[in-house]
Structure 1
Amino acid sequence: MLRTYVPPGSAMYVFVKQFNKLLYDRDVEESFQEKRTRLGGVVCKVGEPMENHAAKIYMRTMFEKFQDSMYKIGSYYADKVVPGEMYVTTHFDCESREKWCKVQYKVSGSGGYYTCECGMYEHMGMLCCHVLKVLVHLRFKLTVDARDVLPMHLVHYQKDQGLMTSFSFRHSQLYLNCMEVGCKC
């Protein structure tokens, strides 16, 4: 992502300037997505209680990705291996799929926290269709604070993590302080 903003071998002041442009562009895009969600609303397609709840907590683009996962759960069966702890989701059309294509995924859970071996949640912070299939199979409902159970590398996005602790806020403040020191010299 940074390569598109900062040319290789750039001076430090160019790097800082372009990095700030990157942060600004990301803030503008996020604001646009929030406005798009607020004005356009979302349309629930599947009708699951989880989908209705996700419509309230996700912005429109992420909600559309969530809907794609909800659609994909129709292609899987969920089988208990160890009730409440280990499940296996199997693609219902596994015989006709390519040999290199994975058709079974292990979903493990304990204490209401479920993970899949595909690693989508750890990578993106969004549940994959395999975990969603298990949760629908178990008739789970998402809680209001489901977005606050994030992997460690995404924890700064939690709603209780204030503006003062966000990376972009700290970076912006550091940049402004550096500019003040630079202007005084």
Structure 2
Amino acid sequence: MTSTQRSEIANMMLKAYVPPGCAMNMFVRHYMRLQHDHEADEGYEEKRKKMAKPVLHVNLAIEEHASKIYTRAMFEQFGHNLYQAGAYKIEEVEKGKVYLAKHTKPHKREKWSRVILEIKMVDEGEYFECECGWFEHMDVPCCHALKVMDYLGIEEIPGKHIMKRWTWDARDILPKHLQIYQNDHASSRFFTYRHSTILKKALELVRLGDASAEAYERLDALFNNDLIAMAHHM
């Protein structure tokens, strides 16, 4: 997603909450309401994840992989694209490099709609570049690229097609000097078992404490009380 698109999305979100020309104190109040609603939506996503497993519609290995990494809303978008992929057939132009996705019912498409698209395989399958430009704008693989992946028997979404902000680890983004503690950097850690166990529980507490203002206040009070108690016993 480009910086211009991100700016437009941010402006659209603000316009839904903040009246034009409002005073600074009113802007802050409305912005806090926007943030509260956003946190509530994230909490709803977490609840959906815990209550029920995502439903697989096409029963492909790549769909199962998507269900494990994407948030529920993004997985639904991925599933829609995967379903749309069924309307195409693949023609190999250059093995391991260039493929054509051809719609199986071109006569039923709109006249302005393209029925043949070229997909280029880059870095031996690490990335698929499609003429439709869907991934560059939406950060989720398009139906044409997914059809090529299925044609090649790829069972997991290539790493370069996974945008962290659409995954369950989206909140797990730390400053550069702390990135070794992120879930997706686990392989680079060399900690003791005790360190790893305590760290994992501490990060989970931080995640829960960041869910809302009330949760933050409770966790902050808990930390303060426990630190005082520990100081008296040392």
TM-score band by shorter chain is 0.7 to 0.9
Match of 1:46? 58
- Please give the residue correspondences for 1:74-85 in structure 2 after superposition, counting only pairs within 5 Å: 74-85=86-97
RMSD across aligned C-alpha pairs, in angstroms? Answer: 2.9
8 Å Cα contact 1:147/1:158 also seen in 2: no
1:74-130 deviation line (CA, Å, top 9, x unaligned): 100111222222222111101232211221222122112112222221222111111
Percentage identity across paired residues of the two chains: 36
2:52 matches 1:35:
no
Deviation beyond 6 Å, 4+ runs, structure 1: none
Match of 1:114? 128
Give the deviation of 1:46 after TM superposition: 0.7
Length, aligned pairs only: 163
Structure 2 length-normalised TM? 0.61
Match of 2:147? 133
Q: Distance in 2 between matches of 1:159 and 1:146?
A: 18
8 Å Cα contact 2:62/2:155 also seen in 1: yes
Q: Distance in 1 between matches of 2:86 and 2:131?
A: 19
Q: Distance in 1 between matches of 2:110 and 2:129?
A: 25
- Please give the residue correspondences for 1:1-185 in structure 2 after superposition, counting only pairs within 5 Å: 1-111=13-123, 112-142=126-156, 146=159, 149-150=162-163, 161-162=173-174
Q: Distance in 1 between matches of 2:20 and 2:109?
A: 43
Q: Distance in 2 between matches of 1:14 and 1:131?
A: 46
| Residues 107 and 147 (structure 1), Cα distance of their counterparts in 2 relative to 1, 3 Å cut | closer
| Residues 159 and 4 (structure 1), Cα distance of their counterparts in 2 relative to 1, 3 Å cut | closer
8 Å Cα contact 1:41/1:60 also seen in 2: no
| Residues 159 and 8 (structure 1), Cα distance of their counterparts in 2 relative to 1, 3 Å cut | closer
1:29-72 deviation line (CA, Å, top 9, x unaligned): 01101211220211212111001111111222222221111111
1:156-180 deviation line (CA, Å, top 9, x unaligned): x767632799xxx9xxxxxxxxxxx
Higher-Rg structure is 2
Match of 2:184? none
- Residue type matched to 1:146 in 2? G
Q: Distance in 1 between matches of 2:160 and 2:26?
A: 36
Q: Distance in 2 between matches of 1:129 and 1:46?
A: 13
Quick check: 95-104 or 41-50, which moved more?
A: 95-104
Structure 1 residues without counterparts, runs of 5 or longer = 170-185
Residue aligned with 1:5, SS: coil
Q: Distance in 2 between matches of 1:22 and 1:148?
A: 30
Structure 1 length-normalised TM? 0.76
8 Å Cα contact 1:148/1:158 also seen in 2: no
Structure 2 residues without counterparts, runs of 5 or longer = 1-12, 180-209, 211-234
